[in-house]
Structure 1
Amino acid sequence: MSDLVTITEAAAFQIKDMMKENGEEQAYLRVGVKGGGCSGLSYGMGFEQEPGEDDTQFELHGIKVVVDKESTAILKGTIIDFKESLMGGGFTIDNPNAIASCGCGSSFRTATNTGTPEEC
């Protein structure tokens, strides 16, 4: 397992399903952080055919994962899970580096990176 990002089995199952549905079985899963959201930073996940030159690459549960250079320090130790509820299912992200997050839970900030907050 990577010490950068961990993907639980439930999340891996869901990601593989999404890859298959979208015809992206050979793609990389990009996990990253960008500026925005109420607290300043927000998570991003998506599929890409080719990793970038400065990306960190690793494989978890048969999924090829890439993280851009700027996101690696912010995401170190992050756990991506998938939870089912009465309202449906969704990915959860547990980042030990996040010191504050907004009420909706989709944005956060760290002790060293406040990002670029937007008004909620």
Structure 2
Amino acid sequence: MITLTDSATDQLKKIIEEENDSTLGLRVFVAGGGCSGFQYQMVLENEIRDGDEITELNGVKLYVDSFSQKYIDGAEIDFVNSLMGGGFTVHNPNAVSSCGCGSSFDTADGAGKASSRSCACS
């Protein structure tokens, strides 16, 4: 199961309120690519798909597909403000390596290896 920090929950609630659509939830998934193999992806949506694990945490719905679940189970999503701006970050206990900015990762079994190795960090 994925968890949200209070900071991430607060930020998501603000964004959903700004969108004026209380049916929205956060879809969290992984996609091949990045310099470490997989990339974290997040999008607001209200579409439930076959095989989704649906969790509601402090009023925020999370949708995770079955493929992504095995790579991000136990992860924590946080929202961090810094001098360079704010953004969501994922703390993933399944990741054994990641790129410098933490937007892509690899797992112990190397399942995250992808043919394209362009890093999302700039």
TM-score normalized with structure 2 length: 0.88
- The gaps in structure 1 that reach 5 residues or longer are none
Aligned pair partner of 1:102 in 76, 92, 99: 99
- The gaps in structure 2 that reach 5 residues or longer are none
1:114 alignment partner AA: G
Separation of aligned partners in 1, 2:118 and 2:45:
30
**Alpha-carbon spacing, 1:8–1:32, altered in 2? closer, same or farther (3 Å):** same
1:61 alignment partner AA: N
| Higher mean C-alpha deviation, range 48-57 or range 110-119 | 110-119
Alignment of 1:4-83 (within 5 A): 4-83=1-80
Superposed structure 1 runs of 4+ greater than 2 Å apart = 22-25
Instruction: Tell me if structure 2 keeps the 8 A contact 1:24–1:47.
Output: no
Which secondary structure state, in structure 1, belongs to the residue aligned with residue 50 of structure 2? coil
Instruction: Tell me if structure 1 keeps the 8 A contact 2:76–2:92.
Output: yes
Q: Partner residue of 1:114?
A: 112
> Across the two proteins, how many residue pairs are aligned to each other?
117
Q: Percent identity?
A: 47
Measured after TM superposition, the shift of residue 67 of structure 1 is 0.3
TM-score normalized with structure 1 length: 0.90
